[in-house]
Amino acid sequence: MSCHMSALQDEQFYSNHDVEIIQKSRHYNGFLKIDHYQFRHRLFAGGWSDPIVRECLERGDAAALLPYDPIADTVVLIEQIRVGALGGEQPWQLEIVAGMIDKAESAEQVARRESEEEAGISIERSESICSYYPSSGGCTEKLYLFVGEVDSTKAQGIHGLAEENEDIRVHVVAREQALKWLQNGRIENAASIIALQWLALNHARLRQQWQV
């Protein structure tokens, strides 16, 4: 086991230098954008692949934040209708706050702004959790995930921007209740699942640091 792990650690992983984009063109340019790629890449066994053709959804990057109250040990979740879930049993999804990143803003700035717009709360201290591609098989979006310190007693009501047709309801939930919803499938959003699982591992440390 240790020899195998050592081999993995010493192995050199491929990067963007090992891909050749032969052609890229935009096939659709609406609210969502679809790009057409023709590319080839190095093969693990050596040499290069044949040209590969793929379509990819160009969505831009996003930031999401889990508002956590270390004193009350509660989280703030929001509920809103999602077009991608219309065919499922829960079109209204329970989520953490999130928004698309504009070129003029950092990921953390977006997360703080969205906390105000979607939940009416201000973020005090914050910490980066991770960044990841939700669906790299067909979408360029990269999501930057944070946890932020809040006073959950100030979180209530209905929020969102009218010009973006947002209708968002705020929920203040005990951390343990949120984890139960995670276990029974009530929470289906990937960013929310990752953030709550991270909180399950790190809440004791956060409570110690943020209650100072």
Active site residues: 164
Whether residue 169 contacts residue 81, with contact meaning beta carbons closer than 8 Å, is answered with no
Distance CA 114, CA 154 (A): 15
Distance CA 75, CA 97 (A): 11
Q: At 18, phi and psi to the nearest 5?
A: -105, 20
Rounded alpha-carbon distances, angstroms, from residue 206 to 157, 162, 203: 26, 35, 5
Whether residue 94 contacts residue 110, with contact meaning beta carbons closer than 8 Å, is answered with no
Q: Give which of 101, 100, 97, 104 is closest to 120, Cα–Cα.
A: 97
Distance CA 13, CA 10 (A): 9
